[in-house]
A and B are shown apart, each in its own frame.
Chain A
Amino acid sequence: MKSLILFMVLLTLWLLMSGYYNILLISLGIISCAFCVYVAKRGKIIDDEGLPIFFMPRLLNYLMWLFKEILMSNLATAKVIINGKVEPETFTVKASQVTDVAKVTYANSITLTPGTVTTKMQKNIFEVHALNSDFGDDVRTNEMDKKVTWLEGKK
């Protein structure tokens, strides 16, 4: 089932990127997609982490919120760089997600917003480096943590 979805995604990518629709090129595409799926199956990398279906229903909503957040912190980072008032700080936060994919999503979201970077992680404790105490407070209020837990939808 998962292999079939992977095959369809790869074939869609091939058709979108190629732009030529004659029989020779489409059959070549089908052959190479099938080979890729075979290699992935032999390497045992088709599992829940490769295609997290349980994210899908709420993903769009989360992405909208994340873009708004990235925009705001871009503005704040630009202000800090121009003013030159840099007071870096390092602290740890606790992640309340269950699955590994959701933890990675949370850590990646922290890193994607400029101003905060995840530097280390052990089980469910992240070490975060922030450019300023304002950015640090944004992470410490746990708003993003709640959003990602909601996105995971396991509770």
Chain B
Amino acid sequence: MELILDILTGICFFIASLSVIIGACGLIKLPDVFSRIHAAGMIDTGGTAFFIIGMVFQTGWSLITVKLILIGVFIFFTSPVTSHVTANLARQKNILPVGKKIGKIL
């Protein structure tokens, strides 16, 4: 049983590390602010979710699990808010995204 949980944690950590590092590479590589927000969103959702699932496998059921899930819920609620505020402010300061625009833009 211990072994199975350890293997599950290892798989989760592997996926999470990969997604976090790819997100950081995207943060450097992508061309403008609006595209970089997608890479930051990848760090916030994929990386955090899998790291927290992996840690939950190690703790079992206790108060620590509740705290871990609380961290996950906080990050899941606050990450889209900061992304949207950043993008909205960049549009207010008249930075236009690169690439094509379909139809009329607000």
Contacts and interface: CB of A to CB of B under 8 A. Distances in A.
A92 B106 CA distance: 8
A70 B34 contact: no
Interface residues of A, number: 38
Interface stretch (A29-37, A46-54, A124-132): A124-132
Given A81-B29, A120-B88, A111 B41 contact: yes
B37 to A, nearest CB: 5
B80 A108 contact: yes
A131 B102 contact: no
A16 interface: yes
A57 to B, nearest CB: 20
Given A107-B84, A114-B46, A119 B26 contact: no
Contacts, number: 121
Nearest to B102: A91
B93 interface: no
Interface stretch (A1-9, A82-90, A95-103, A146-154): A82-90
A111 B83 contact: yes
Contacts of A113: 41, 45
Given A107-B80, A118-B87, A122-B106, 14 more contacts: A16-B66, A17-B70, A78-B19, A86-B31, A89-B102, A111-B83, A112-B80, A114-B45, A115-B38, A116-B38, A117-B37, A117-B83, A125-B106, A131-B38
Closest 6 CB pairs of A and B: A88-B99, A111-B80, A81-B26, A91-B102, A74-B46, A114-B41
